[in-house]
Amino acid sequence: MSAAMVERSTVPAALPAAQNDLYRLLLLRQNGSELLVAGERPSFTLPCVEIPRWERVAENMDAVVKKRYAISGICLFMPGLGSGTECEQPLYQVIEARDGTVVPPDGTCWVPVDLLSGHSFADEQDSAAFGDTMREVRDFQSGAAKGPFGRPGWIDELFSWAQHELDPYGLRLNGGFRQLNASPTFALLRLETNGPAVWFKAVGEPNLREFPISVTLSRLFPGFVPTVIATHPAWNGWLTTEFRGSMLDELQDASTWERAAQTLAELQVEAIRKGDRLLGAGCRDLRVPSLLTMVDPFADVMSELMEKQQKAAPPALSGPEVQTLARQVKDSLSDLAELDIPDTLGHLDFNPGNILCSADQCIFLDWAEGYVGPPFLTFEYLRAHLERLGRENASLAADVASAYETSWRRVLCPEAVSAGFDLAPVLAVFAYVVGTETWRDPALLSDPKAAAYLRSLTRRMHSEMHRLQDRRQLCCK
């Protein structure tokens, strides 16, 4: 959602031309006791690969390692040294070989890590990366470092646990898997079975809330979200059935977008009286009273950030402009409250990549940004993505909006729906920016990119407020 909420002038028309990133591999086996190196004797070098820059690291890394070195691996983490600039220093990736007996490719060999030192490598950067990696591996193994997925051997524990949970369903894992995301505290894998595949996902900070939210939504709203069949609380992880469908942004027919909008409305209507349970599961409280308490503090922060802007364009908002915007947001929230639109389940990151569609069903993924509050804001995020993807025209936009409105008109009068839609563009931006809470973190605010992003969102809010006022003036004529 974030990119779709930024003012149009700051959103690139397309991603940069395809480029590759160079990674040097710290490929371990035998519980981290051996390392694959290139060369027959010191000074060794590390195997290296290139993968597309703008795609999933773990998924591409696993594929290229298997193709080039005939090794099935699982990504563990990137050591601390792998944060240099792309031109001056390669990135590093720590990988565990799944087959501990695999014959090393020509020109490489497995060496016990106990026999390696900083002088064993031709490149000082490789020496530093090796030292950092082994320290981190020991910390993960001892529990001194947090993160179950940075430790060699964790994938075997996952398979053992998952098989135990799948036994009652008559499913057997066949060893095949696809790793999509990898870090010490996050995991996303597709596990193959003798029948339908299953998915394992686990989360860490700052997305810990996604675990209880996902489990609660699966229990409360079957058919709208992935079905959770098992949980692993120690890892903040859960196992779900696979939904056979395609991402919404991969589909071309307008009827699929309409079905996604209608399904969202049906889910929200069903969730109207379940707010307390959703808040208890970790959904953010973005009901109007909560949003009102954040207007003035947010305006104070943004006034300060606007004063710090160094670029002339796009122009920063003045202090009085920010304070006027704050008053207008308060008025809009009060107007929304008077419509008596019920609070329900919402999604601050409601984008086409989080929507899976089949011929007759849609389900919604990735609920770390789930909230309880005004419903129409979530649809506004979808509409903004429709516009950004270049799929919007007057007819399609009207059809998608109509599909969403139909369910809401069964519980609200047409005037309330129309007024709520009118307020949604500006309040959706405000709810997103305060709901994700970046503006409360002094460390993030000191980051020039984070500060520029918040300024951009505030300018977008300012523009949407002007559009709202223009629409209202036209209606009064």
Q: How many CA atoms are closer than 13 Å to the CA of 135, on its beta-carbon side? A: 10
Query: Would you state the pLDDT for residue 54?
Result: 83
Residues 45, 128, single domain; the answer is yes
The pLDDT value recorded for residue 393 is: 67
- CATH at residue 175: 3.30.200.20
- Domain final residue, candidates 220, 241, 262: 241
Q: What residue type is 372 in one-letter code?
A: V
Strand segments, DSSP code E, in 298-440 are 344-347, 355-357, 362-364, 370-373
Q: Does one domain contain both 102 and 35?
A: yes
Encoding tokens for residue 458? Answer: 């505030």
Q: What is the CATH number of the domain that holds 142?
A: 3.90.79.10
Q: What is the CA radius of gyration of the chain?
A: 25
Chain mean pLDDT for the chain: 90
Total of domains in the chain: 3
Residues 6 and 105 occupy one common structural domain = yes
Which of 217, 241, 265 is where one domain is finished?
Answer: 241
Q: Quick one: 284 and 389 in the same domain? A: yes
| Domain, as residue range, for 117 | 2-147
Q: Tell me, what's the pLDDT at 88?
A: 61
Domain boundary, last residue among 194, 218, 241:
241
335 and 296 assigned to the same domain:
yes
Domain match, 252 and 236 both: no
- The CATH number for 438's domain is 3.90.1200.10
Instruction: Show contacts of 350-355: CB within 8 Å, 24+ apart.
Output: 350/1, 350/264, 350/378, 350/379, 350/381, 350/382, 351/1, 351/4, 351/249, 351/381, 351/382, 351/385, 352/247, 352/248, 352/249, 352/382, 352/385, 352/389, 353/247, 353/248, 353/249, 355/247, 355/248, 355/260
115 and 8, same structural domain?
yes
Based on the domain organization, do 221 and 260 belong to the same domain? no
Q: What is the pLDDT of residue 148?
A: 96
What per-residue confidence (pLDDT) applies to 392?
57
Query: Same domain, yes or no, for 170 and 48?
Result: no
Mark 434-460 as b/e (b = at least 16 C-beta within 10 Å).
bbbebbeeeeebeeeebbebbbbbbbb
Query: In the prediction, which pLDDT does 85 show?
Result: 42
Q: Are residues 460 and 339 in the same domain?
A: yes
CA pseudo-torsion sign 168, 174, 178, 179: positive
Assess whether 142 and 224 both reside in one domain: no
Considering the domain architecture, whether residues 471 and 431 belong to the same structural domain is answered as yes
Residue numbers in the chain where pLDDT is lower than 70? 1-18, 81-89, 100-102, 391-394, 475-477
